[in-house]
Amino acid sequence: MSTRNFDLIVLGVGMAAVNAANKCASAGWSVAVVDELPYGGTCALRGCDPKKMLRRGAEIIDAARLMHGKGIEPNDIAINWPDLVAFTQTFTDKMPGRIENGLESNGVTTLHGKARFVGEDTVEIDGEGQFQANHFLIATGAKPRTIDVPGSEHLTDSTEFMRLDALPERILFIGGGFISFEFGHIAARAGSKVCIIDRGERPLKGFDADLVERLVARGEEVGVQLRRRTSLKAIEKDGTGFLVTVETDSGTKDLRADLVVHGAGRVPAIGRLDLAAANVEAGDKGVEVNAYLQSTSNPKIYAAGDAADTQGAPLTPVAVFEGKVAASNMLNGNRTKPDYAGVPSAVFTVPELSRVGMLEEEAREARHDIRVVENDTGDWYSNLRVGESCAATKVIIDNECDTILGAHLLGPEYGEIINFFGLAVRLGLTTSDLKKMVSAYPSVGSDLGSMV
């Protein structure tokens, strides 16, 4: 079989890949994409999109309970888990075909199979043969981190969790990050007893510690238990459930669960690409790239998203703009650097926790002259209206220029408000600018000026 040649071959077909491929194809390049998994990547198929659809069920349950005694009788309301999962699949099942059709309509060649490098400008794809290109983009995303303990084969990952036929009575989540908290809150509202074990003292480390503690307390009220300073040691099948051995400050303990879910972090999915054959340097955080997302060891190769070792957080919007930046630099030469200022992130628990910019401790370590504006917003109208008392904000302001250095929010719909703060951080808006904003009322957005 002869070797086919392209201007660009993209490895992976997630959000970074799709944006880069379409941009380069629109500029007239011959482009191919390849993935061994259905097209769409983690977010659209196995991550944030279906997860938030599952969360909708938890939101409704929680909202009804919060309004108990305020005109709503929630006694018979419940999540039908199979129906809720089927609802998510009305979205996810259509995405691979839509994405492939969109790429093909833009002139992109779509390939399926496992790809690995066999040279600095050549990949081999199972069932397809060898392909050469002037440029490559590695955008293969991330996968669950390997947990090396006896019985790790019994772990359920987040993808499998979202496809469960039913939720069991007792669920144990490993790790105190996004996955454990988000799915833990969903499962608890669906009626499961949830326990999260975290080997550290402080879960959700990238978020404001004070707001995290409020969220932990709120979770405990609905059945999400957190065990701190607790490390996984082994998982053993025990009848229809599992015996989980953990290490705590007071010694070894056994916990029982019907399901054990991996929420202990993700790593770049680059292990099977044979990067050494292409002279591509990579580490634990991904492909080593320069400021232009170009491989530090092979100039033909770029990387973006979770597969690249950059300053960007492992978030879908970051992958999208890194894909666009990489494409621009491949097309025009290295002129554009990704700008990570003002990128918000959110933990979609119920209520949701979000942040943008600096934490308070980061601002102080950077020796900014700051003031911190804190509000307990549980009795503000927007939250009183829905019965949610667990709500608070913390905004970090630079005293010298009155700009927003960071914002940290916990409350209903605050995952939308954080976007306004993201814009403020990115554009250097002052608190005066935000206070001048005229909003629709009554809306959650109208609270923005009072938060600073």
Q: What does the longest C-alpha to C-alpha distance in the chain come to?
A: 73
For residue range 299-357, what is the model confidence (pLDDT) as tens digits? 999 999 999 999 999 999 999 999 999 999 999 999 999 999 999 999 999 999 999 99
Of 123, 108, 102, 107, nearest to 36 by C-alpha is 123
Q: Say how many Å lie between the first and final Cα of the chain, rounded.
A: 65
Cα 338 to Cα 350: distance, rounded to the nearest angstrom: 32
For residue range 106-159, what is the model confidence (pLDDT) as tens digits? 999 999 999 999 999 999 999 889 999 999 999 999 999 999 999 999 999 999
Assess whether pLDDT exceeds 70 at residue 371: yes
Token pair, residue 251, equals 């010694």
Of 423, 426, 427, 428, nearest to 448 by C-alpha is 423
Residue ranges and CATH numbers for the domains of the chain are: 4-46+88-143+267-332 (3.50.50.60), 152-264 (3.50.50.60), 351-451 (3.30.390.30)
Residue whose structure tokens are 């993808």: 159
- Is 195:255 a contact under the CB 8 Å cutoff? yes
| Cβ neighbours of residue 402 closer than 8 Å, sequence gap 6 or more | 430, 431, 432
Q: How confident is the model at residue 1 (pLDDT cuts 50, 70, 90)?
A: low
Three-state secondary structure call for residue 92: helix
Question: DSSP string covering 14-36, please?
Answer: SHHHHHHHHHHHHTT--EEEEES
Of 142, 121, 108, 119, nearest to 34 by C-alpha is 108
Assess whether pLDDT exceeds 70 at residue 440: yes
Three-state secondary structure call for residue 56: helix
Cα 387 to Cα 101: distance, rounded to the nearest angstrom: 45
The pLDDT assigned to 127 comes to 85
Q: Tell me the helices (H) and strands (E) count for the chain, helix number first.
A: 13, 24
Of 438, 442, 437, 439, nearest to 381 by C-alpha is 442
Question: Within a 10 A sphere around the Cβ of 398, how many other Cβ atoms?
Answer: 19
Cis-peptide, bond into residue 442, ω within 30° of zero:
yes
3-state helix, strand, coil in the chain (%, to 5): 35, 30, 35
Q: Which amino acid is at 261?
A: V
In the DSSP assignment, the letter for residue 275 is G
Assess whether pLDDT exceeds 70 at residue 430: yes
For residue range 193-225, what is the model confidence (pLDDT) as tens digits? 999 999 999 999 999 999 999 999 999 999 999
Assess whether pLDDT exceeds 60 at residue 411: yes
- Residues 360, 364, 366, 367: what is their CA dihedral angle, to the nearest 10 degrees? 150
Average pLDDT score over the chain = 97
Cis-peptide, bond into residue 317, ω within 30° of zero:
no
Sign of the C-alpha dihedral, residues 270, 276, 281, 282?
A: positive
- Is 408:354 a contact under the CB 8 Å cutoff? yes
The pLDDT assigned to 2 comes to 66
User: What are the φ and ψ backbone dihedral angles of 289, each rounded to 5 degrees?
Assistant: -130, 160
- Is 444:382 a contact under the CB 8 Å cutoff? yes
The arithmetic mean of pLDDT across residues 216-236, rounded, is 98
The pLDDT assigned to 26 comes to 97
Question: Within a 10 A sphere around the Cβ of 146, how many other Cβ atoms?
Answer: 11
Residue whose structure tokens are 């995290």: 212
Return the CA Rg of the chain.
23
List the beta strands (DSSP E) in 49-168.
109-112, 115-119, 122-125, 129-138, 142-144
Instruction: Give the rounded distance of the alpha carbon of 260 from its chain centre.
Output: 20
For residue range 245-290, what is the model confidence (pLDDT) as tens digits? 999 999 999 999 999 999 999 999 999 999 999 999 999 999 999 9
Token pair, residue 325, equals 């930046």
Q: Which amino acid is at 359?
A: L
Token pair, residue 212, equals 């995290």
For residue range 66-104, what is the model confidence (pLDDT) as tens digits? 999 999 998 889 999 999 999 999 999 999 999 999 999
Percent of the chain exceeding pLDDT 90 equals 98
Q: How many residues does the chain have?
A: 452
The pLDDT assigned to 365 comes to 96
In the DSSP assignment, the letter for residue 403 is B
Question: Within a 10 A sphere around the Cβ of 209, how many other Cβ atoms?
Answer: 15
Cα 124 to Cα 3: distance, rounded to the nearest angstrom: 9
Cα 45 to Cα 47: distance, rounded to the nearest angstrom: 6
Cα 125 to Cα 34: distance, rounded to the nearest angstrom: 8
In the DSSP assignment, the letter for residue 345 is E
Q: Which amino acid is at 397?
A: I
